Chain A
């Protein structure tokens, strides 16, 4: 059974720092991995999707990497800003069943001005 873990659960850094969020999964037979952002009480906003055949994806100040063999993905945020404060979730999708879309518990990120 796939398990997705995000450590740490919470992170606070000063504005301007580069930072890395981690996502690990136990079953490497995935179709894709998706990173989301969630503001308090709101829905999820898709940030980046990495297909299983890809190693990384970039969008603006965000870069997501995927290492299937080690069961890890990282989300790199460059030059962090207070507006980046939110909870970041990763989700891995297996094949054949939507029940194999498994979410992590998220990392709550706070950027201090």
Chain B
């Protein structure tokens, strides 16, 4: 496997279900991201993990719960979703410079193929 992989590629779930999206990067990067892409809207950053620590949460509802067990794997746990959460969920990775300091530099991002989520 190369690059960034995501599973599953398609997911249909009811509002009471619990499911998880998985992302894995094989690029040796130290940062991973979750994005949401809805129809006719720009990509929305949801979460960022840098060195396995969550560094950003863009006011995402608690029904989305991320998990980053190591720098190569990222999960998005889903529960009690709403129909408006239906979207393409994209994972990305990049190398971040600047360590844990305030002036980080975010380098080229590489994206996975996405998970098309439909909430009924």
Q: Which residues of A contact B (CB under 8 A)?
A: 4, 31-32, 34, 36, 41-46, 49, 89, 91, 93, 95-106
Instruction: Label chain A's interface by main secondary structure.
Output: strand
Q: Tell me whether B31 and A98 are in contact (CB under 8 A).
A: yes
Please give the distance in Å from A49's CB to the nearest CB on chain B: 5
Contact of B114 among A34, A42, A91 (CB under 8 A): A42
Q: Tell me whether A96 and B104 are in contact (CB under 8 A).
A: yes
**Given the known A-B contacts A98-B56, A99-B56, are A43 and B112 also in contact in the complex, defined by CB atoms under 8 Å?**
yes
Q: Tell me whether A95 and B104 are in contact (CB under 8 A).
A: yes
Please give the distance in Å from A57's CB to the nearest CB on chain B: 11
Q: Tell me whether A91 and B45 are in contact (CB under 8 A).
A: no
Give the B interface residue count (CB, 8 A): 32
Q: Tell me whether B45 and A99 are in contact (CB under 8 A).
A: yes
B78-120 to A contact mask, C-beta < 8 Å, 1/0: 0000000000101010000010001111111111111010000
Q: Which residues of B contact A (CB under 8 A)?
A: 4, 6, 31, 33, 40-43, 45, 48, 50, 55-56, 58, 88, 90, 92, 98, 102-114, 116
The 6 closest A-B pairs by CB, nearest first: A44-B111, A98-B48, A43-B113, A43-B111, A103-B43, A49-B108
Please give the distance in Å from A37's CB to the nearest CB on chain B: 11
Task: Determine the chain A residues whose CB is within 8 A of the CB of B58 once the complex forms.
Answer: 99
Q: Tell me whether B43 and A45 are in contact (CB under 8 A).
A: no
- Report the separation of the CA atoms of residues A32 and B104 in the bound assembly, to the nearest whole angstrom: 13
Contact of A91 among B98, B109, B110, B116 (CB under 8 A): B109
- Report the separation of the CA atoms of residues A99 and B4 in the bound assembly, to the nearest whole angstrom: 21
Task: Determine the chain B residues whose CB is within 8 A of the CB of A103 once the complex forms.
Answer: 42-43
